[in-house]
Amino acid sequence: MKNILIAFIIILIYSSQIKAQEVSNVNSEVSGNLIQIEYDLSGAKYNQVFNVSLYVSFDGGNTFQGPMKSVSGDVGEGIKAGSNQIMWDPFKDVRSLEGNIVFSIKAEVIDQKLEKHFFVHYTGSYSLRDAGFSAPFGLSFGQIGKIGWYASARINLSAFTKSQYDFDGTDVVGYDKVLYYEYDNEYKYPAMEAFAGITAQIHWNIFLYGGVGYGYQKFYWHMNEYDYMDNSLQNDSYLDYTDYSVSGIAAEAGIIIRAKMFSFNVGYSTLNFSYSNIVFGIGLNF
């Protein structure tokens, strides 16, 4: 194999780009009988790659030959942005390396097709106000892609408990039975959230989501009702402590991260701007 005579070669680097920011920091050195060319690619969106080719000039950049065939490394289709390297075996493509040599690296942007995936997640929420799991049982499902959709709902074990009376902090509101009642230390915190919204892709495996819906988080206090005559238990009831119970419009936002067939989400939800929750979920996408 012929040797490369470095003493008679002046290697200059010239970068030719579709956009000025795409090819930069180009450097070269001789490695045995090969020429190693390093370069950086930038300016690509998350769904874009490059088709990279190498050209060479022996007259200082006036005319170019190529693309060179005997190349390996980060060259050809599917090259990602970042620091890259091309190895060129010159004597398989040209007869000699005489003259004022200039390289031209050309990078053509290729848009990759954005695929849509369906996802199903177990989901729950943790209350920032009460420092506990407010609605730990839920399901989210939808579609992720450039623009997609989703629906989500979460509850706790007390979600469908009904209250018989309201409590205003002092008395049971509107209580008109001929009974007396006593409070105990049993409490329930019914909670439910339901949302519908959209998803939007911001990176190859990262998606934003946001939605609106309805929810409630309530504070129930247990009481027993007794007969005045014999003190027998007549009713077992819950009071809705209205000062701490909230229901109405809910909103949430967060991110979904995809890792092959698995995906997970984390976000934030608010109910009438009174209750705030951390939202979490994990599941599959397909």
> How confident is the model over 133-151, as pLDDT tens digits?
899 999 999 999 999 999 9
| pLDDT for 111 | 92
In this prediction, residue 75 has a pLDDT band, given cuts at 50, 70 and 90, of: very high
| pLDDT for 13 | 43
Measured CA to CA in angstroms, residue 83 lies from 86, 105, 107 at distances of 11, 14, 13
Residue pair 143/149 in contact (Cβ under 8 Å)? The answer is yes
CA distance 116 to 258: 12
169: number of Cβ within 10 Å: 8
| pLDDT for 62 | 93
Higher pLDDT, 285 or 45: 285
Residue 168 pLDDT > 60: yes
| pLDDT for 20 | 41
Residue 92 sits at φ, ψ, to 5 deg, of -85, -15
| pLDDT for 9 | 37
In this prediction, residue 131 has a pLDDT band, given cuts at 50, 70 and 90, of: low
In this prediction, residue 43 has a pLDDT band, given cuts at 50, 70 and 90, of: confident
Cβ burial, residue 243 (10 Å; 0-12/13-18/19+): exposed
Residue 238 pLDDT > 60: yes
pLDDT tens sequence across 269-285: 999 988 899 999 999 99
Q: What would the mean pLDDT of 16-39 be, rounded to a whole number?
A: 78
In this prediction, residue 24 has a pLDDT band, given cuts at 50, 70 and 90, of: confident
- For residue 213, what are the β-bridge partners? 195, 250
In this prediction, residue 15 has a pLDDT band, given cuts at 50, 70 and 90, of: very low
| pLDDT for 89 | 96
Closest by CA position to 47, among listed 81, 18, 73, 23: 81
Measured CA to CA in angstroms, residue 175 lies from 20, 65, 166, 171, 218 at distances of 78, 95, 9, 9, 20
| pLDDT for 27 | 85
Residue 159 pLDDT > 60: yes
Residue 83 pLDDT > 70: yes
The torsion region of residue 108 among left (phi > 0), alpha (psi -120 to 50) and beta comes to beta
| pLDDT for 16 | 41
pLDDT tens sequence across 183-237: 999 999 999 999 999 999 999 999 999 999 999 999 999 999 999 999 999 999 9
Q: Is the dihedral of CA 143, 144, 146, 151 positive or negative?
A: positive
Q: Is the dihedral of CA 63, 65, 66, 72 positive or negative?
A: negative
